[in-house]
């Protein structure tokens, strides 16, 4: 049997939830790992909401620092760690966009090329996820999709949406609920299943 | 706002689409409405999926450094797991769970308990139970951790040990002056949580050797690891 040597600390075998549990113990390396797993998606989301590099960076930074301060409140039986961190960043982005009032809800211009340092697995997995969620969105009735997109990417509140679309708040509420519940079903369907393909965790 | 009207805000809250006052009122409601908490958990996951529908360019590398730097500056004053002789805080299931995670076990079971074989899970729970005892000690070594309860009940957690070859097993031993006593068999793999048979008194060593399947009465090989309690 070969000689056993001490290994550099690796998080590859830990679940996202276990990483957050370590962040709750103020483990900086675990925070770095959390960022490496979700920083890119979080940044893409913040950029979509805010349309501005610097503001998007602020939202991501604030979101991750909120995670750092409050990781002990994370409850793995309530939420996936990915949902939790993305919610923190999204909430921050929405706060900023409402303050700056610079929101628009059209997709970003095409041609955003990932930097060459991105790993092939990351790229492949993100593309897979993007196509999966976009396909589910396309199956929603237009009005429901519009309500979800304007709310989530545009940062509009339900009362702002009601005004913008000339509809009662109750109608907007119900479009958001029906749309989100339907999206949940679509994403859970086999073929859209998230277990269909998973990246190999990097082991650096 | 009426309770029913508050239930209806769940989707909007999951999308961060409530006005500030409504959001505050909804959060207050949430603290005592199980139905809304469950619904919110599930709708939030769907909302979170929307994050993945956007293009994801690489953020600038400075952002990562900035976040970590700021985090260090804000480091709350808590006691992290110390590298050696760390004494877990008082008995609390949460502490045990946290420590177990820190040791690298429970990693998978947290998100998908069903994936684990029951026996493996039961072993991890026994280790966690020792960790939860007041006054239990954890001794870290290069490949893992030895956990010793106050009464000497102990467990070994070993990471990244190649699986034992066919026909062979890892065997743990407790050595306290006299001949080493058999303390348990395990197969290795990414994470092994091994509750030890017999007690580990202060100063005793725990050894691991590779032996033929089924184990032997006395070690026949040089230990591949040895840790003193």
Residues of A in contact with B52 (CB under 8 A): 41, 126, 129-130, 132-133
Lowest-pLDDT choice from A57-71, A81-95, B110-124, B174-188: B110-124
- pLDDT at residue B185 in the model: 93
Q: Across residues A103-121, what is the average pLDDT?
A: 54
Q: Name the residue among A15, A53, A180 with its Cβ closest to that of B110.
A: A15
**CA–CA separation, A199 vs A38, rounded Å?**
13
Class of domain B93-228: mainly beta
Q: What token pair was written down for B168?
A: 């062979």
Q: Say if B212 is an interface residue toward chain A (CB within 8 Å).
A: no
Q: Which residues contact A113 (CB under 8 A, 6 or more apart)?
A: B57
Question: Which of A48, A87, A173 faces B44 most closely, judged by CB atoms?
Answer: A87
Q: In chain A, how long is the greatest CA-to-CA distance?
A: 73
Residues of A in contact with B9 (CB under 8 A): 173
CA distance B148 to A45: 46
ipTM: 0.84
Q: Provide the angle, in degrees to the nearest 10, between the axes of the packed helices A120-138 and A28-50.
A: 40
pLDDT tens digits for range B40-74: 999 999 999 999 999 888 999 999 999 999 999 88
Contacts with A, B 111-140, CB within 8 Å: 111
What is the dotted CATH code of the domain comprising B3-53?
A: 1.10.10.1320
Strand order in the sheet with B225-228: B181-186, B168-175, B205-212, B225-228
- Which is more confidently placed, A83 or A78? A83
Residue A3 has pLDDT above 80, yes or no: no
- Which residue, A73, A56, A59, is CA-closest to A20? A73
Chain B: closest CA distance from residue A191 (Å): 16
Q: Which domains does chain A have, with CATH numbers?
A: 14-104 (1.10.1740.10), 118-197 (1.10.10.10)
Say whether B53 sits in a helix, a strand or coil. helix
Residue A73 has pLDDT above 60, yes or no: yes
Lowest mean pLDDT among A76-90, A94-108, A120-134, B182-196: A94-108
- Interface touch B19/A157, C-beta < 8 Å: yes
pLDDT at B166: 85
- Average pLDDT of chain A is 83
In this prediction, residue A195 carries a pLDDT of 44
Q: What is the pLDDT of residues A165-191, one digit of tens each?
A: 999 999 999 999 999 999 999 998 866
Option in A16, A39, A83 nearest B64 (CB): A39
Return the beta strands (E) in B176-224 as ranges.
Answer: 181-186, 189-195, 205-212
For residue B77, the distance in angstroms to the closest alpha carbon of chain A comes to 9
A90 to B42: CB separation less than 8 angstroms, yes or no: no
- Greatest CA span in chain B, whole angstroms? 75
Low-confidence ranges of chain B (pLDDT < 50): 77-93, 106-117
Q: Which of A32, A57, A91 sits opposite B63 (nearest CB)?
A: A57
CB-based contact B104 A152, cutoff 8 Å: no
Domain ranges of chain B: 3-53, 93-228
Task: State how far residue A155 is from chain B, nearest Cα, in angstroms.
Answer: 7
Secondary structure of residue B86 in the 3-state scheme: strand
Cα separation, B38 vs B215, whole angstroms: 49
User: Which residues, at least 6 apart from B142, have a Cβ–Cβ distance to it below 8 Å?
Assistant: A4, A5, A6, B225
Beta-carbon separation of B16 and A47 below 8 A = no
Look at strands B189-195 and B154-161 and give their pairing: antiparallel
Least confident stretch, A38-42, A118-122, A148-152: A118-122
Please give the DSSP secondary-structure letter assigned to residue A2.
P
Q: Note whether A180 contacts B14, CB cutoff 8 Å.
A: yes
pLDDT above 90 for A68: yes
Q: Which candidate from B14, B42, B63 shows the least CB-CB separation from A61?
A: B63
Q: How far is A100 from chain B (nearest CA, A)?
A: 16
Residue of B46, B52, B110 lying closest to A76 (CB–CB): B110
Residues 129-188 of A with CB under 8 A from B: 129-130, 132-134, 136-137, 148, 151-153, 155-159, 161, 173-174, 176-177, 179-181, 183-184, 187
- CA gap B178, A170 in Å, rounded: 79
- The pLDDT value given to residue A130: 92
Cα distances from B146 to residues A101, B18, B170, in angstroms, run 56, 50, 16
3-state secondary structure of A46: helix
Burial of A56 (0-12, 13-18, 19+ CB in 10 A): buried
Q: Which residues of A touch B16 (CB under 8 A)?
A: 87, 90-91, 94, 151-152, 155
What integer is the mean pLDDT of A93-99?
Answer: 92
User: Which of A171, A103, A184 shows the shortest CA–CA distance to A143?
Assistant: A171
Among A182, A145, A183, A136, residue whose Cα is nearest residue A165: A145
pLDDT greater at residue A8 or residue B138: B138
Find the mean pLDDT for residues A10-17: 79
> For residue B141, what are its two tokens?
């070594």
The predicted structure's pLDDT at residue B100: 58
The pLDDT value given to residue A1: 42
DSSP three-state, residue A5: coil
User: Does the pTM of the predicted model rise above 0.80?
Assistant: no
């Amino acid at each position: 049997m070969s000689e056993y040597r001490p290994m550099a600390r690796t998080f590859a075998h830990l679940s996202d939830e276990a990483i957050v549990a370590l962040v709750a113990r103020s483990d900086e390396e675990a925070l770095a790992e959390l960022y490496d797993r979700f920083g890119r998606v979080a940044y893409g989301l913040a950029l979509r909401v805010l349309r501005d590099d610097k503001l998007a960076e602020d939202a991501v930074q604030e979101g991750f620092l909120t995670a750092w301060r409050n990781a002990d409140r994370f409850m793995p039986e309530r939420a996936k760690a990915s949902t939790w961190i993305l919610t923190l960043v999204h909430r921050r982005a929405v706060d900023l966009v409402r303050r700056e009032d610079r929101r628009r809800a059209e997709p970003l211009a095409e041609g955003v090329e990932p930097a060459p340092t991105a790993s092939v697995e990351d790229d492949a997995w993100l593309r897979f996820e993007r196509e999966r969620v976009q396909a589910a969105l396309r199956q929603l009735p237009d009005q429901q999709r519009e309500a979800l997109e304007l709310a989530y990417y545009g940062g509009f509140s339900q009362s702002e949406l009601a005004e913008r679309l000339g509809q009662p708040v109750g109608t907007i509420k119900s479009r958001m609920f029906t749309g989100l519940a339907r999206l949940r079903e679509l994403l859970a369907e086999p073929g859209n299943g998230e277990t269909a393909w998973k990246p190999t965790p990097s082991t650096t | 706002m009426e309770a029913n009207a508050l239930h209806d805000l769940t989707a909007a809250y999951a999308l961060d689409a409530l006005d500030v006052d409504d959001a505050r009122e909804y959060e207050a409601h949430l603290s005592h409405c199980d139905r809304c908490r469950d619904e919110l958990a599930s709708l939030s996951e769907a909302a979170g999926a929307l994050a993945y529908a956007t293009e994801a360019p690489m953020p600038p590398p400075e952002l990562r450094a900035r976040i970590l730097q700021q985090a260090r500056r804000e480091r709350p004053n808590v006691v992290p797991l110390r590298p050696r002789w760390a004494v877990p805080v008082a008995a609390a299931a949460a502490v045990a769970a946290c420590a177990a995670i820190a040791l690298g076990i429970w990693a998978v079971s947290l998100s998908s308990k069903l994936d684990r074989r029951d026996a493996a899970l039961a072993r991890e729970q026994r280790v966690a139970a020792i960790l939860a005892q007041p006054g239990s000690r954890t001794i870290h070594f290069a490949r893992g951790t030895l956990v010793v309860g106050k009464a000497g009940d102990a467990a070994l957690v070993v990471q990244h040990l190649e699986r034992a070859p066919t026909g062979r097993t890892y065997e743990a031993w407790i050595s306290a002056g006299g001949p080493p006593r058999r303390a348990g068999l395990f197969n290795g793999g990414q994470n092994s949580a091994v509750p030890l048979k017999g007690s580990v008194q202060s100063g005793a060593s725990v050894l691991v050797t590779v032996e033929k399947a089924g184990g032997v009465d006395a070690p026949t090989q040089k230990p591949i690891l040895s840790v003193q309690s």
